[in-house]
Structure 1
Amino acid sequence: MALNTMLSVCRRKFDIASTSRIKKFVLEYSTRSLVEVGKLEIPKIQGKYDAGQLFLHRVFGYRGVILFPWSARVYDRDILANKKTTKTPDTDVNTSNQVGREVKGKNHTYYQVLIDSRDCPHIRAQTEAVTFLGQQENSKSLYAIPGLDYAAHEDILPYRTTEHQPLCHELFDKFLMPDPDKDPPFEARETLRAWQERNHPWLELSDVHKETTENIRVTVTPFYMGCRESQNSTVFWWRYCIRLENLGELSVQLRERHWRIFSLSGTLETVRGRGVIGQEPVLSPEQPAFQYSSHISLQAPSGHMWGTFRMEREDGHTFDCRIPPFSLESKNEDNSLPTGVV
């Protein structure tokens, strides 16, 4: 059953305004004229969304379409911190900062999605974040599929389009075909199923790590990319996606990063630098989130990373925001190489 709600696109700013009965979703671009793009539907509390479901991203505001689901283990250190700050007869010490303390994971649904290319220039997330190793075994190059992302179930705001062109992405028609008798009115093509099967090891989302420091939530998702031979040694590659969200009312800016990288070979590396990917993003109440991806290589099949971001509030207060520890695990590989394009 669809909500009596209009989904609109404006040409300059994304904003969510709500009343008791109506929610208007407005995306700001180059002009201020509103264009209706569809009608919102009731988000699913139970069950999963099907391939072909159009949606608006709750945090970044882009229009997208679901390709297929992933089941991931979410390790939320905030839950552990809440338990440890509750005094009991046996303990009254907050031990949530201990890096090695075990955090139990819970299964959660994420989705592989395509981002509408019309929205890519206006969102605070890298739209070329899903990368692959080069096709040759000895290649050190990386290549990306533009407009490919992962979205958590709670970030999906489903809608039914009223546009002639439901989504702009070069893979949309290759992966999905219209089926007006279905809900959603699109069906996965065999090319999508084959592409998912071929690239499953490089696309699979398995672990998600979360931790909040002074109202700044950091979410880390690592992905194994494969290994390559380099100067008589084997180099293992991972990419990791990081999302920062400001849950407070004061603006805060990311100033520095500090990483600790441990390899199974026994090495411990420290990395410090200004900002991330050449930026020092501001997380404000109007634009509270920022997402980016980076890469790491080790001469060992496993390791782990942790660290902090130095943050500065608008009142000048600085603090270290914890990056939750996460493992870098390799997988058994066959001779197949990732095929990122169809």
Structure 2
Amino acid sequence: MAAACTRVTHQCRILLKTVSKQGQNSRRLGTSRLTEVGKLVLPKPEAAKYVTGELFLHKVFGYRGVILFPWEARVYDRDAQSQERPPTSGSYAGQEVKSKTHSYYQVLIDSRDSPYIRAQTEAVTFLGNQDNSRSLYAIPGLDYVSHDDILPYHTTEKKPLVHELFDRFLVPTEEGSETQFTMRDTLRAWQDKNHPWLELSDVHKETTENIRVTVIPFYMGSREAQNTHVYWWRYCIRLENLGDEVVQLRERHWRIFSLSGTLETVRGRGVIGQEPLLTKQQSAFQYSSHVSLQAPSGHMWGTFRMERQDGYSFDCKIPPFSLESKEDSSSSTPTNFT
């Protein structure tokens, strides 16, 4: 099928299962609607990067998005490592895992799709810098997307994406019958200003019994609190069911090691107040959280307790990842546009 003739119809998979708005207690299915948004084009190979302004559909979550700018990340894939050199002990704990460079992208999410995707749409957070407070604030509708998860498309719409930052960051240009988008100076300035807080450098992956866990950590800065220095990180976690069995996340178990010599254990039900179900139709779930240390670096690792429909439970490994700080600058206060 010729790529230029392939029509893109946007239909969020979760929309088919939303509860009808006709009464809060109703369990009837909501009405879905197919809408043509453009024409699919062939995905680019890894060597050919996507550029600012390119539109895409997310291969896993199904939302419409637009590329803001790329990152080159070091991907530590324990699955690939085990294929190259099977471990004798069944674990890579304490063993070095080699990284490979892979392209990721900072993107905007269409706000019309946000209610129907199983990913937090306020996953990019910053430390506030007012009166040395410890407050956090979030930028809604930002995500980090792997090159492999992008399905690019073209459109003739002048404003194909609904997001409060779309017009501030991008300007449309005509290319034949299609509309393309280029970077405004405001996006370039915003990227330069917020680079320390947005930068994606490391990605960690590991699969246990067909459940793949991907972790991306970010340094957020430090604060003085009660006569001690506190360092903050956020981390984004994506769980994917690569198999056919329905699996539900029941518990989390974290171990957090600080360079100061402390080792903390954290247990709890679910994640961010949820116990997500991973099915073949809705195979992925993504969320973000935060951690603080009284030291400039440390490590985190752990497990998710997963349960199948037949009652079988197993521990899904969360790959170990480093918490590394960067030099703080008093002038690099994060900026937003709210």
Query: TM-score when scaled to structure 2?
Result: 0.91
Alpha-carbon distance in structure 2 between the residues aligned to 1:129 and 1:227: 19
Alpha-carbon distance in structure 1 between the residues aligned to 2:225 and 2:95: 35
Alpha-carbon distance in structure 2 between the residues aligned to 1:13 and 1:237: 34
Q: In the alignment, what sits opposite 1:8? A: 9
- Same amino acid, percent of matched pairs: 70
The answer to whether the aligner puts 1:102 opposite 2:96 as a matched pair is: yes
Q: In the alignment, what sits opposite 2:334? A: 338
Alpha-carbon distance in structure 2 between the residues aligned to 1:172 and 1:251: 37
Q: 1:36 touches 1:162 (CA, 8 Å); kept in 2? A: no
In structure 1, give the amino acid aligned to 2:70: P
The answer to whether the aligner puts 1:308 opposite 2:303 as a matched pair is: yes
Equivalent position SS for 2:174: coil
Q: In the alignment, what sits opposite 2:23? A: none
In structure 2, give the amino acid aligned to 1:138: N
Equivalent position SS for 2:216: strand
Classify 1:175/1:164 alpha carbon distance in 2 versus 1 (closer, same or farther; 3 Å): closer
Q: In the alignment, what sits opposite 1:37? A: 37
Alpha-carbon distance in structure 1 between the residues aligned to 2:242 and 2:212: 7
Q: 2:13 touches 2:62 (CA, 8 Å); kept in 1? A: no
The answer to whether the aligner puts 1:138 opposite 2:139 as a matched pair is: no
Alpha-carbon distance in structure 2 between the residues aligned to 1:160 and 1:252: 36
In structure 2, give the amino acid aligned to 1:255: R
Q: In the alignment, what sits opposite 2:26? A: none
Q: In the alignment, what sits opposite 1:216? A: 211
The answer to whether the aligner puts 1:54 opposite 2:49 as a matched pair is: no
The answer to whether the aligner puts 1:154 opposite 2:155 as a matched pair is: no
Q: Kindly state the Cα deviation for residue 31 of structure 1 after the two structures are TM-superposed.
A: 2.6
Q: 2:257 touches 2:263 (CA, 8 Å); kept in 1? A: yes
Q: In the alignment, what sits opposite 1:26? A: none
Q: Kindly state the Cα deviation for residue 11 of structure 1 after the two structures are TM-superposed.
A: 7.0
Q: Kindly state the Cα deviation for residue 164 of structure 1 after the two structures are TM-superposed.
A: 4.9
Alpha-carbon distance in structure 2 between the residues aligned to 1:80 and 1:10: 37
Query: TM-score when scaled to structure 1?
Result: 0.90
Q: In the alignment, what sits opposite 2:22? A: none
Q: 1:11 touches 1:33 (CA, 8 Å); kept in 2? A: no
Q: 1:69 touches 1:112 (CA, 8 Å); kept in 2? A: yes
Q: 1:84 touches 1:96 (CA, 8 Å); kept in 2? A: no
Q: Given the alignment, which residue of 105, 117, 126 partners 2:120?
A: 126
In structure 2, give the amino acid aligned to 1:121: P
Alpha-carbon distance in structure 1 between the residues aligned to 2:320 and 2:169: 36
Q: Kindly state the Cα deviation for residue 333 of structure 1 after the two structures are TM-superposed.
A: 1.8
Q: 1:53 touches 1:184 (CA, 8 Å); kept in 2? A: no
Q: Kindly state the Cα deviation for residue 232 of structure 1 after the two structures are TM-superposed.
A: 1.2
The answer to whether the aligner puts 1:280 opposite 2:275 as a matched pair is: yes
Q: In the alignment, what sits opposite 1:90? A: none
Q: 1:56 touches 1:157 (CA, 8 Å); kept in 2? A: yes
CA RMSD of aligned residues (A): 1.8
The answer to whether the aligner puts 1:173 opposite 2:167 as a matched pair is: yes
Instruction: Give the number of aligned pairs.
Output: 322
Alpha-carbon distance in structure 2 between the residues aligned to 1:150 and 1:311: 25
* Farther off after superposition, 132-141 or 324-333: 132-141
Q: What aligned pairs does 1:164-313 form with structure 2 within 5 A after superposition?
A: 164-181=158-175, 185-313=180-308
Alpha-carbon distance in structure 1 between the residues aligned to 2:242 and 2:36: 30
Classify 1:213/1:10 alpha carbon distance in 2 versus 1 (closer, same or farther; 3 Å): closer
Equivalent position SS for 1:261: strand
Alpha-carbon distance in structure 2 between the residues aligned to 1:268 and 1:40: 49
Q: In the alignment, what sits opposite 2:321? A: 326
Q: 1:137 touches 1:228 (CA, 8 Å); kept in 2? A: no
Structure 1 segments of 4+ aligned residues over 6 angstroms from their partners: none
- Write out per-residue CA displacement over residues 257-303 of structure 1, whole angstroms, 9 at most, x where no aligned residue: 00000000110000000000000000000000000000000000000
Q: What aligned pairs does 1:55-94 form with structure 2 within 5 A after superposition?
A: 55-85=56-86, 94=88
Q: Kindly state the Cα deviation for residue 184 of structure 1 after the two structures are TM-superposed.
A: 6.8
Q: 2:15 touches 2:32 (CA, 8 Å); kept in 1? A: no
